[in-house]
Chains A and B, each alone.
Chain A
Amino acid sequence: MEGLVFDIAHLLAGSLVLVSFMMLYQDRLYALLNVFAFHAVVLSLSVAWQAYIQDAPHLYVTALIALIFKAIIIPLSLHRIIARLGIHREIETVVGVVPTMLAGMGLVALSLVVMLRATAEADPLAREDLAFALSVLLLGLLMMVTRRNAVSQVVGFMSLENGLILAAAGAKGMPLVVEISVAFSVLIAFIVIGIFLFRIRERFDTVDVQTLDRFRGEKR
């Protein structure tokens, strides 16, 4: 039983990393959103499994928030925003797929090396969980760097937050306060982003960050 518990947790956390990789090479916005929704579903399964094995009912709440909020509400609203802005056809990667994937693999290797070494004394489940969480976090960062569209940067940021929630769920007995606040901060972050997108929409005809970059604060 112990082995099975461990394997399932491992499988779910590993899948999260895999889905992160899938997000890296999506160049259509709608496809990206679908993969992100899938990412959130895997996260919520993973958190729910942690809730079950740790016997920590409050984690079910976190899983539920991830499922409802991140897998359904956010992708749907981003869908609508994209449709309204008419940018669904845009293809937007700064770096090619191959270098991005290679960089992603490097980051995952890095996080495994760092976390497994640093946590040599912790229990194996928590170690693996942390290593996967760091991978997801770094892949989210990588995605934010390689995209220039505001919507996909936001998606990158949210996948990064998913990694954080995975880490928090894996840390046994972490106080509820923090989990709710994490979920809450995502909510706030989303509102902020929503306002931003809205404002950007009012002022520009594109949400392409590169257009924004042209307005360097300091004119020559």
Chain B
Amino acid sequence: MMALPINAVALVLLIPAAAAALLALLPGYRLSARLNVLASFSTLIAALSLFVEKPDANSYFLVDDLNIVFIVLNTFVGFTTSVFSASYIAHELETGRLTPTYLRFYHAMYQVMMFGMNLALLANNIGLMWVAIELATLTTVLMVGIYRTHEALEAAWKYFILGSVGIALALFGTILVYMAARPVVGEGLYGMVWTILIDQVAAFDPALLNVAFIFLLLGYGTKVGLAPLHAWLPDAHAEGPTPISAVLSGLLLNVALYAVLRFKMLLAANAEAITPGPLMALMGLTSLVFAGFMLYRRRDIKRLFAYSSIEHMGIITFAFGMGGPLANFAGLLHMTMHSLTKSAIFFAVGHISQVKGTQKISDIRGLTETHPVLGWGLVLGVVAIAGMPPLGIFMSEFLVVSSTFAREPLLALVLVMGLLVAFGALMLRVHGLAFGAPTGSTAPVEASYLPMFCHLSLVLAAGVYLPPALVTWFQHIARLLG
């Protein structure tokens, strides 16, 4: 293994890149869908091998305990979503919403997006990280607009404009970080290498770092979907193909959050700079409460869960903003659980909206009678996302709340209120969706339930029993995050 010229980092990046090129050329959607699954699976294997042998950091790439969680989660959900996507798109082709040409484009873009996200997570260079996030954003813009309906175009345009503005602000922040690093680290490449920056950040000009962080938080925060900057998120989730909604919620938001975390670590290591925590906690809490109330007025099923994503990203950002070993641990756990649960919900929602031919909540009733497996899958997913015991999200939310109560009781009250508001909305909606007199088509679904139940059982397992190895590992990362 030692002498291999290609290491796992290269594989995690090369497989999606090569697959994208191949998928762009291959006609025939059955083959492409399978190839998509295969490529995603091999990327997952390559990512898992990072555990066994961690390559050393260089000026461009870095594998440490923090990003390995994100990478494994990213490739895992990327793989399960590709399985779901294979059964989802066949139906889209039948109903004529997508043509074979667009499908070829879709598969290629899927892999380009995975490439972009993996690159952003592996990057040790803050410039490279920015480029990768921009790449992932642009591909998702194209995917959101792929149905070419009025709504899809509007959603894609809005996403594009807001996303570009966010990303422009983030680049300005990145430039400012380099400006702050230059007098200490020296000119050139090293001024952008994260591992070098974190070593020497204590000597940087704090004022410049502060301004930089504001830009980075606003810029990447737009991509996380934090409250005042979230406007693109519900539209993008509702109008694109459902596999993309799953990936957006489960992965892309995490990638942007990861970028914010890296810069938060930089600021935390400089004694004179502002503490970034309170800003993040405030934005997180605002998002949570805001999204909690907005959940009540949703009429579109995918929009409902998009707002739920804003809510959960708010909780996660809040937890990381609070900081400290316990809150960071809770944040990490919550992020993992949310990614798994939310993508599982979107898998269910994708099949439901296909079989019912609508995304309107009022037109979908009695799912547990017409489609028991899908219906109960959705119920289980919503129960999980609303934070009921014994599922994993209950545990992470409980940890967030209890650690906050111990330190800032007033904030904890707001937090609990936000959680309860969101809980009420979700229960109300799922009751209407899953029970009552059935409406709409009762045709059987050709669905692959495997990805959905695979995710949900992981969430259940984590809620019942968290392996000690995982706990120690997450605790270690939580300490790293400070």
**Contact (Cβ within 8 A) A200 B153:** yes
**Contact (Cβ within 8 A) B208 A167:** no
* Interface members, chain A 146-205 (any B CB < 8 Å): 150, 153, 157, 160-161, 164, 167-168, 171-175, 177-178, 181-182, 185, 188-189, 192-193, 195-196, 199-200, 202-204
How distant is the Cα of A189 from the Cα of B280 in the complex, in angstroms?
29
Contact of A196 among B160, B171, B187, B238 (CB under 8 A): B160
Complex interface: chain A residues within 8 A of B208 (CB): 118-119, 122
* Interface members, chain B 289-306 (any A CB < 8 Å): 298-300, 303
* Interface members, chain B 162-200 (any A CB < 8 Å): 164-165, 168-169, 171-172, 174-176, 178-179, 182-183, 187-189, 191-192
* Interface members, chain B 124-169 (any A CB < 8 Å): 125, 127-128, 130-131, 134-135, 138, 141-142, 145, 148, 150-151, 153-157, 160-161, 164-165, 168-169
**Contact (Cβ within 8 A) B138 A209:** no
Closest to A219 in B: B299
Interface size on B, residues (CB 8 A): 52
Complex interface: chain A residues within 8 A of B179 (CB): 119, 122, 126, 130, 171
Q: Verify if A17 is at the interface (C-beta below 8 Å from B).
A: no
**Contact (Cβ within 8 A) B160 A192:** yes
Distance in angstroms from B191 CB to nearest chain A CB is 7
**Contact (Cβ within 8 A) B164 A167:** no
Contact of A212 among B130, B138, B141, B157 (CB under 8 A): B157
Q: Verify if A141 is at the interface (C-beta below 8 Å from B).
A: yes
Complex interface: chain B residues within 8 A of A134 (CB): 172
Distance in angstroms from A197 CB to nearest chain B CB is 10
Complex interface: chain B residues within 8 A of A157 (CB): 161, 164-165, 168
Distance in angstroms from B303 CB to nearest chain A CB is 6
Q: Verify if B234 is at the interface (C-beta below 8 Å from A).
A: yes
Closest to B155 in A: A217
Complex interface: chain A residues within 8 A of B65 (CB): none
Closest to A191 in B: B138
Contact of B300 among A172, A193, A203, A217 (CB under 8 A): A217
Complex interface: chain A residues within 8 A of B397 (CB): none
How distant is the Cα of A203 from the Cα of B141 in the complex, in angstroms?
18
Closest to B187 in A: A173
Residues 16-41 of chain B, each 1 if its beta carbon lies under 8 Å from chain A, else 0:
00000000000000000000000000
Q: Verify if B81 is at the interface (C-beta below 8 Å from A).
A: no
Complex interface: chain B residues within 8 A of A189 (CB): 138, 164
* Interface members, chain A 15-55 (any B CB < 8 Å): none
Interface centre among B148, B169, B179, B298 (most CB of A within 10 A): B179
Contact of A181 among B131, B169, B188, B303 (CB under 8 A): B131
How distant is the Cα of A76 from the Cα of B286 in the complex, in angstroms?
45
**Contact (Cβ within 8 A) B138 A188:** yes
Given A203-B153, A209-B157, A217-B303, is A144 in contact with B207 using a C-beta cutoff of 8 Å? no
Q: Verify if A82 is at the interface (C-beta below 8 Å from B).
A: no
How distant is the Cα of A91 from the Cα of B166 in the complex, in angstroms?
28
Closest to B127 in A: A178
Q: Verify if A2 is at the interface (C-beta below 8 Å from B).
A: no
How distant is the Cα of A79 from the Cα of B359 in the complex, in angstroms?
40
**Contact (Cβ within 8 A) A215 B151:** yes
**Contact (Cβ within 8 A) A218 B303:** yes
How distant is the Cα of A145 from the Cα of B156 in the complex, in angstroms?
17
Given A144-B161, A189-B138, A217-B234, is A173 in contact with B188 using a C-beta cutoff of 8 Å? yes
The DSSP consensus for interface residues of chain A is helix
**Contact (Cβ within 8 A) A175 B153:** no
**Contact (Cβ within 8 A) B171 A182:** yes
Contact of B175 among A167, A217, A220 (CB under 8 A): A167
Complex interface: chain B residues within 8 A of A220 (CB): 299
How distant is the Cα of A133 from the Cα of B169 in the complex, in angstroms?
12
Complex interface: chain B residues within 8 A of A175 (CB): 127, 188-189, 191-192
How distant is the Cα of A217 from the Cα of B156 in the complex, in angstroms?
11
Distance in angstroms from A110 CB to nearest chain B CB is 12
**Contact (Cβ within 8 A) A119 B191:** no
**Contact (Cβ within 8 A) B156 A196:** yes
How distant is the Cα of A120 from the Cα of B178 in the complex, in angstroms?
16
Given A150-B157, A157-B161, is A199 in contact with B211 using a C-beta cutoff of 8 Å? no
**Contact (Cβ within 8 A) A117 B192:** no
Distance in angstroms from A217 CB to nearest chain B CB is 5
**Contact (Cβ within 8 A) B168 A137:** yes
Closest to A180 in B: B131
**Contact (Cβ within 8 A) B127 A181:** yes
**Contact (Cβ within 8 A) B153 A119:** no
Q: Verify if A115 is at the interface (C-beta below 8 Å from B).
A: yes
How distant is the Cα of A175 from the Cα of B182 in the complex, in angstroms?
11
Q: Verify if B205 is at the interface (C-beta below 8 Å from A).
A: yes
Closest 10 CB pairs of A and B: A173-B187, A178-B127, A215-B150, A118-B211, A118-B207, A212-B154, A181-B131, A175-B189, A167-B175, A217-B151
Given contacts A141-B165, A178-B174, 10 further A-B contacts (CB under 8 A): A137-B169, A161-B168, A164-B168, A164-B171, A199-B145, A203-B148, A215-B150, A215-B154, A217-B154, A217-B234
16 contacts between A and B (CB under 8 A): A119-B179, A120-B207, A121-B207, A130-B179, A137-B172, A157-B168, A164-B168, A164-B171, A172-B182, A177-B125, A188-B135, A188-B138, A189-B138, A192-B160, A200-B153, A218-B303
Residues of B near any A CB (own CB < 8 A): 125, 127-128, 130-131, 134-135, 138, 141-142, 145, 148, 150-151, 153-157, 160-161, 164-165, 168-169, 171-172, 174-176, 178-179, 182-183, 187-189, 191-192, 205, 207-208, 210-211, 234-235, 238-239, 298-300, 303
Residues of A near any B CB (own CB < 8 A): 114-115, 117-122, 126, 130, 133-134, 137, 141, 144, 150, 153, 157, 160-161, 164, 167-168, 171-175, 177-178, 181-182, 185, 188-189, 192-193, 195-196, 199-200, 202-204, 209, 212-213, 215, 217-220
